[in-house]
Amino acid sequence: MKDTSSNSSAKKNAGYKAAEYVEDGMVLGLGTGSTTHFFIEKVGMRIKEEGIKVMGIPTSFQSLLIAKEWNIPITTLEEHDIDLSVDGADEVDSEFNLIKGGGAAHTKEKIVDYAADQFIVIVDESKVVESLGAFPVPVEVLPDASRMVMKALEDMGATCEIRMAQRKDGPVITDNGNFVIDAKFDEIESPAHLEIDLNSIPGVVENGIFSQMVDKVIIGTDDGTKEL
């Protein structure tokens, strides 16, 4: 699905710029979301036009389908190490901490992005913040543990709700068969500590805070890109 939002040109600029870092022979982590869509698209163009040989490890069914559309060969973490992973974010702060999971794919994204030799984040300007917290932290949970986990999150000061599907009845179901709880904290003073604390709750599979993982941030604008 093409991105028709008002900042689609900024997203496209970021995604296309990240594809310039792809080299022949690389194994790529293919993130999820509207900005990463453009990265996968440009990699597919380079395969067709330049004849580069790469393989991709998708982080979701969405990125798998886009990669297949662009004839990017698919592999797995069982078979290959990752040279470069490119992914979007819902928020990125001045210390390169992220909140991810708006697409409910953050568990596989964190596994793939953590495994990569280099991790590049691509965002438009609206996603850059001074400190995290405007966006809820997505927490993937085992369905049977959802009530208990919600109580634990509320005890930590979060306002919580189970994410509901838009075009089906009931909760969003992740690619792993789990629920997502969106936990809104008034402020996140230490993303690294909160990431650990959330994952210590029994029943939590993974949360959407990514701390101390990012090598480069590419910020797309309508006029081009900026790199941090």
Question: Residue 108 has what pLDDT?
Answer: 97
The whole-angstrom separation of Cα 161 and Cα 159 is 7
User: Could you give all domains of the chain from N- to C-terminal order, each with its CATH number?
Assistant: 8-128+212-227 (3.40.50.1360), 137-206 (3.30.70.260)
Question: Residue 3 has what pLDDT?
Answer: 47
Q: Are strands 91-92 and 98-99 parallel, antiparallel or unpaired?
A: antiparallel
Q: Are strands 224-227 and 216-221 parallel, antiparallel or unpaired?
A: antiparallel
Q: What is the mean pLDDT of the chain?
A: 96
Question: Residue 148 has what pLDDT?
Answer: 98
| Burial (Cβ within 10 Å: 0-12, 13-18, ≥19) of residue 89 | buried
Residue range 67-76, pLDDT digits in tens: 999 999 999 9
Any idea which residues carry the catalytic annotation?
109
Residue range 167-176, pLDDT digits in tens: 999 999 999 9
User: For the packed helices 34-50 and 8-19, what is the interaxial angle rounded to 10 degrees?
Assistant: 40
Question: Residue 58 has what pLDDT?
Answer: 98
- 3 in Cβ contact with 122 (< 8 Å): no
Residue range 75-93, pLDDT digits in tens: 999 999 999 999 999 999 9
The whole-angstrom separation of Cα 1 and Cα 208 is 24
The pTM assigned to this predicted structure is 0.94
Structure tokens at 195: 């990431």
